[in-house]
Amino acid sequence: MAPHSAAPRPRWFVAGDLNGFFGLVVDNLSILGFIAMALVGIFQFPAEVVFGRMFPGTAFGVLVGNLLYTLMARRLAARSGRDDVTAMPLGLDAPTSIGMALLVLGPAFAGFRQQGMEPHAAAMATWQLGMAALVIMGVLKLVLSFFGEAVTRALPRAALLGSIAGIALVLMGLLPLLEALRSPVAGFVTLGLLLYVLVAKGRLPVRAPGVLVAFVVGTALYYGLGLAGLGAPGFALPQWTPPQVVLPLPTLGFIDGLPAALDYLPLLLPFGLLMVVGGINVSESARAAGDDYRTRDILLVEAVATLVAGLCGGVAQTTPYIGQPAYKHMGARSGYTLLTGLFVGIGGMLGVISGLVQWLPLAVLAPIIVYVAIDITTQAFEATPKRHAAAMVLGFLPSVAYLLAIKAPGWIAPERLLELTTTLDGHGLPELAVIFALGNGFIITAMLWIAMLVAMIEQQPRRASALLLVAALLTLFGLIHSVDPRGGVYLPWTLQGLQRSISWQFAGAYVALAAVLALLGSFRPAGGKDARAEG
């Protein structure tokens, strides 16, 4: 018998890696753009600190994480003898990065200014606080990474994929779409071109990566129409902050920021926990797409990249992106994460990333996230049993509540917002307070709701009852349905008044349904078979 020939070494680059590279770079640039817009535009944060201190270390974390994921993909390809393995994409997490800017860094800067600090000193103190916050979240993720595989075994695939599909459809789909349509011509044309080349698999008349062509056309339309006076109202050329070369060397500056960061601990712990849950889910998403990465390894890389970023001056945590199947459909393999890591990391040191963030319009950056959202939601339904579809749709609803909660402060005056969340009208809890409570911890809520309904569908009411009791326990401590408007955790006996009532009402609801399902489980016919139709 002839000996088996050795499996060919996987190629470093394939044509689809270019599309994947542009898509992943744009994902990261769009989030950096949101951070800069929030800090500089809303809180009047000194731009030179954002671009010269915060961004280089943040970008370096992206470099480290993507290099490690590239090596993992090449090892998986060599071990399996396959040449179609796609690396796990890593970048900055959108919800918590924006949350860091709006709920931690911005308010901290305002607080330092109120203490009498001049702007630059307040910005430097805030930077150190941000570094400390990232180190705290990195340590938490490092510890929790060893429990990820147990969660994967305990929950059905629908719970893991459905929860991120809700995020994709509601947050990654709608929010970037709204941003794109603030400049409708440039944004919609960019989105249409991306859908043409990535979903419809249409061919362009030029030999260039379709994603790059879409961005070039969109950017040209944005600036061309704007300069001609035909763009969306309010067009203005961005204010230019000169780039500077910064080496993101490790520093102990985070130690100075620890005392202030501890005040935000109730918010930082859920931020870190949500990323661990997200990492578990994306590992299952990649597995459903054919790439069987070990969940623990995915989470460990995420934790290490976050820690490195914090130690080197970063302020936004890295996470494996939930669009791995989308990049696979682009034809990307392992070269795209290598290119992205090098471009973002080195570009962050040289000031290139800061320049791009200032000049590339969000209306053109946002559509790639919309495409990824469409692909993720599609995969969630394709990779799970048809009979579990209703459970996944149920899991979308907490994401809708979170969307309303993060938009409410921009729509409603602060004093009116407080009134709407505390005024009783004789018809139960205040509606807006319910929206905030349902949205806080929405990823974990979605997983538990989906898993509960899947257990019902599979004729396992006692398992569903147990999941509801877990939800009740998490509710009492604010890990889900937090009554802190920012989503912080707390001890249940510290709550007072309406907040205490909301927390106990939500927990009581879970306990009541758990009791009903346990009772129904006890009345099941002995030896009864599952009579449901196969989907």
How many other C-beta atoms can be found within 10 angstroms of the C-beta atom of residue 188?
A: 17
Choose among 335, 282, 436, 454: nearest CA to 384.
454
Sequence-separated (6 or more) residues with CB below 8 Å from residue 162: 380, 384, 388, 391, 392, 395, 396, 446, 447, 450
Tell how far CA 522 is from the center of its chain.
40
Tell how far CA 273 is from the center of its chain.
12
| Mean pLDDT, all residues of the chain | 86
How many other C-beta atoms can be found within 10 angstroms of the C-beta atom of residue 258?
A: 15
Q: How far is CA 437 from CA 58, 221, 407, 449, in A?
A: 31, 41, 14, 15
**For 210-262, what is each residue's pLDDT tens digit?**
888 998 999 999 999 999 999 888 888 877 777 778 888 888 888 999 988 88
Tallying the residues shown for the chain, one arrives at 535
**For 18-38, what is each residue's pLDDT tens digit?**
888 988 898 888 888 878 887
Task: Provide the terminal-to-terminal Cα distance of the chain, rounded to the nearest Å.
Answer: 45
Q: What is the pLDDT of residue 523?
A: 81
265-288 and 119-144 helices cross at what angle (nearest 10)?
50
R_g (Cα) of the chain, nearest Å: 24
From CA 477, how far away is CA 468, in angstroms rounded?
Answer: 15
Sequence-separated (6 or more) residues with CB below 8 Å from residue 415: none
Q: State the pLDDT confidence band at 2, using cuts at 50, 70 and 90.
A: very low
How many other C-beta atoms can be found within 10 angstroms of the C-beta atom of residue 234?
A: 8
What pTM was estimated for this model as a whole? 0.72
Tokens of 120: 């630059």
**For 306-363, what is each residue's pLDDT tens digit?**
999 999 999 999 989 877 888 888 889 999 999 999 999 999 999 888 888 888 888 8
